Amino acid sequence: MLTELQEKLAEAHALAIAASTVTHKVEAVTPDNELKLELHSMRREADETRARCGVLEHRFGADLAGEVLAHVNTTSEKAADLAGAWFKAGTGPLAAWSFLAMGEAAEVAAWTALEIFAAKADDRPLLELAAWALRIQRAHLDTAFSGAVRLAELGDPNGQRWG
């Protein structure tokens, strides 16, 4: 049985997996090259986050690490289902960046909770990971917001809607 701390680590890990997939989907409908570069950077950081999560999960031992990974996979599948439904509907650039902002907000929430739990548990390695990831996720959330603003500024309010 996972602790709250382990479960939150698994959720943060799963959201990093989802971020990699979502940034690909957002990039596919993003017309702006600068925003595409931002998405590439976000994806690289999500991949690094995934790797760091995996390292810390293994310190729980094989059985518990397997249980954490099972929770990672379940949560990742839920996120993939949500993204699939959102993007299946012919999602345009602005709606895609709005979805990205929702995902980044979820990551900020997960990492914030993990940071609090790690501090309470006096788990220094997880606390360091959470502090590192939280800085990145807050920057990603800012990027998602500014990307949505940029696309709205580039858009024509009287133009044809996407899709």
pLDDT tens per residue across span 140-160: 999 999 999 999 999 889 888
Q: Which CATH number goes with the domain that contains 105?
A: 1.20.1260.10
A 10 A CB-CB count for 122 gives: 8
Q: Would you say residue 141 lies in a domain?
A: yes
Which residue type, as a one-letter code, is found at position 70?
Answer: A
- Token reading at 85: 């439904």
Q: How far apart are CA 114 and CA 124, in angstroms?
A: 12
> What local confidence, expressed as pLDDT, does residue 22 receive?
95
**Counted domains in the chain:** 1
For the chain, residues with pLDDT lower than 50 are: none
Q: Would you say residue 159 lies in a domain?
A: no
Q: Would you say residue 45 lies in a domain?
A: yes
> What local confidence, expressed as pLDDT, does residue 162 receive?
67
Q: How far apart are CA 30 and CA 62, in angstroms?
A: 41
> What local confidence, expressed as pLDDT, does residue 159 receive?
84
Q: What are phi and psi of 3, to 5 degrees?
A: -80, 170
> What local confidence, expressed as pLDDT, does residue 163 receive?
60
The whole domain housing 11 covers 4-154
